[in-house]
Amino acid sequence: MAQKQVTGRRLIIIGGSSGSLEALMVILPALRKDFTIPVLIVLHRSISADNGLRDLIASRTSLQVKEADEKEILLAGWIYLAPPDFHVLLEEDGTASLDVSEKIHYSRPSIDVSFTSAAPVYRQHLTAVLLSGANSDGAAAMRVVKEYGGNNVVQDPAEAMVSYMPEQAILLAGVKTVLPANQIAVLLNRL
């Protein structure tokens, strides 16, 4: 079964809200061409936004980019975007699930939902990254990621266009790895 082959896999989830696109445009183009960890991006964005974000990211990276589909196996070499108006959760067989349950922190997709869902599945193989934003979504869930042995990284609030989201993660989850966007890319490339 193809699904069995992905056990022991790794995952990176990058969350962000306002001001995070600028940081992503530093991080994603800097990822190695042969990057072997699937990346899930959970951004707060308006429901009416169409494929503009996918196309924008695809134009700046050598990795392949698509919106995550339900029951899709997350594969190396791909960057997946949480679709607007859906939470993305992670199943133990390495697939993504979509969910239209209540908004969390006024957001669907919610970063908290993806981090919390991925933490017990990927454990020490999960790296959770939180970027600029004016909302605390994702901050509390970084503690859950840590409890399950995963890695936490936040964008340096001094660099973030909106410092509140990374500041909350440092405050609520005691995140120790605080880096500017270009250094986050260096760290991800070394995973």
Partner 1 sequence: MIESDDLEKLLENMVQWYGYDFTGYARASLKRRVDSFYSKGKHTSLAEMQNRLSNDPAYFMHFVEEITVNVTEMFRDAGFYKTLREQIIPVLATYPFIRIWHAGCSTGEEVYSMAILLKEAGLLHKSILYATDLNQGVLAKAKSGIFPGAAMQQYSENYIRSGGTADFSSYYTANYNNAKFDAELSAKMIFSSHNLAADASFNEFQLILCRNVLIYFDNVLQGRVLQLFDKSLDSLGFLALGSKESLRFSGIASHYKQLDNKEKIWRKNR
- Catalytically annotated residues: 17, 44, 137
CB closer to partner 1 out of 86 and 164? 86
In DSSP terms, 139 is beta-bridged to none
Residue 154 carries which DSSP code? E
| 170 and 178 Cβ atoms separated by less than 8 Å | yes
Phi and psi, residue 54, nearest 5°: -60, -50
- Between CA 182 and CA 161 the distance in angstroms is 14
3-state class (DSSP) for residue 99: strand
- For partner 1, the binding residue among 4, 100, 158, 190 (CB under 8 A) is 100
Q: Considering only the stretches 26-34, 97-105, 125-133, 170-178, report the one whose residues sit in contact with partner 1 under the rule CB under 8 A.
A: 97-105
Nearer to partner 1, 104 or 161 (CB): 104
Is residue 69 a contact residue for partner 1 (CB under 8 A)? yes
Residue 34 interacts with partner 1 (CB under 8 A): yes or no: no
Residues 107-146 that bind partner 1 (CB under 8 A): 113, 116-117, 120-121, 144
